[in-house]
Chains A and B, each alone.
Chain A
Amino acid sequence: MIDLDDTDRGLLRALQQDATLTAAELGRQLGISQSVAWRRVKRLTEAGVIKGRRLDLDKEALGFGVTVFLGVKLAAKGHVNLEAFERAVTAIPEVQTVQHVLGRYDYRLRVVARDLSDFERVLRRRIMTLPGAGEVEANVVLSEERRPGPLG
């Protein structure tokens, strides 16, 4: 585990907003030199704190008007093959996120679709037919906020 100081936290907050910022721009924002900013970002990347970069696209402009969070419970009867379920659910292109969870559901899914009827098609043809899938609960996303997280 790596310890962070205020400068590291400032760098991470800035890069969460815009990962294309150069060391010079980061340095200016945080009041440190370009070389210090560069070394700090390198250290954070090498320590695995920055695990990657994600493209932020306007889903609606690209024709994906609906995002749905699904809770999926595996059918209790008989022997359930987790690997078969996970392999099949991962292969569905509309499924963006799959998390194995403990609680009322076994899996948490994030699904995108063009509209509600497109979502219904994905749900009926791809999700309900997954090996071992039992109860499914769908909640349609109305708004979403990504927060910086514990970097304060």
Chain B
Amino acid sequence: MLDDTDRRLLRHLQADPGQSVAELARASGVAASKAYKRLERLEAAGVLKGLRAVIDWRALGYAVEVSLRVSLDKTEPRAFDEFMAVAREVPEVSEIQTFLGRVDVRLTVLARNMSHYQEIYRSRILTLPHIVDVEALMHVTTIKDVEALPL
């Protein structure tokens, strides 16, 4: 079970994942040896799953990001699995979520520009199996992107 020390360490680590264990320990008011042991334990327990690099797609020339909200044909029992299997093959798809709600699946699609997007949309998205309806939200700006948990 997690105690307040674990939460404090994770809260500080979330805010600045690049810091050393010594810096983290100081910020959290914990001895470095204790911080090190706690982090090892959190990792072993699978709570701390890792540190991932975040890519700025705009810096790579992908100026267009679209959130596609897809409804699938629910009379087809294999609709989700078959849709997901083909969607995973599209390199421009960077996220896939499934939902309970009005929308069944959501895809994040990255493209260099609008004509590139149109090409992906026609040749790789509309051809995905079991689609009943697709609705697009075009990304304008990101106001907040922390994905930190309110620990």
Chain A residues close to B by CB (< 8 Å): 1-2, 4, 12, 15-20, 47-59, 61-62, 64, 69, 71, 86, 89-90, 93-105, 107-108, 110, 112, 137-152
* A19 and B52 form a contact (CB under 8 A): yes
Partner of A103 from the list B10, B110, B136 (CB cut-off 8 Å) is B136
Contact check, A50 vs B88: say whether CB atoms are below 8 A apart. Answer: no
Shortest distance between the CB of B56 and any CB in chain A (Å)? 4
Cβ-defined contact, A147 with B142, below 8 A: no
- Bound Cα distance A112, B2 (Å): 19
The 3 closest A-B pairs by CB, nearest first: A139-B101, A15-B53, A93-B150
**Per-position 1/0 for B47-83, Cβ under 8 A of A:** 1111111111101111000010000000000000000
Contact B48 A57 (CB under 8 A): yes
* Interface: B100 (CB within 8 A): yes
Known contacts A49-B56, A108-B67: does B139 contact A101 (CB below 8 Å)? yes
- The size class of the interface chain B forms with chain A is 35 or more
Quick one: closest A residue to B112, CB to CB?
A: A150
Q: Across the two chains, which residue of chain B brings its CB closest to A56? A: B49
A89 to B144 alpha-carbon distance, docked (Å): 9
Residue among A4, A19, A149 facing the most chain B CB atoms (10 A cut-off): A149
Q: Do B143 and A12 have beta carbons less than 8 Å apart?
A: no
Contact present for A57 and B96 (CB under 8 Å): no
Residues of B within 8 A of A59 (CB): 149
Q: Are A96 and B147 in contact (CB under 8 A)?
A: yes
What are 11 A-B pairs with beta-carbon distances under 8 A?
Answer: A2-B60, A17-B50, A53-B51, A58-B48, A61-B45, A97-B142, A101-B140, A103-B137, A108-B137, A139-B102, A150-B60
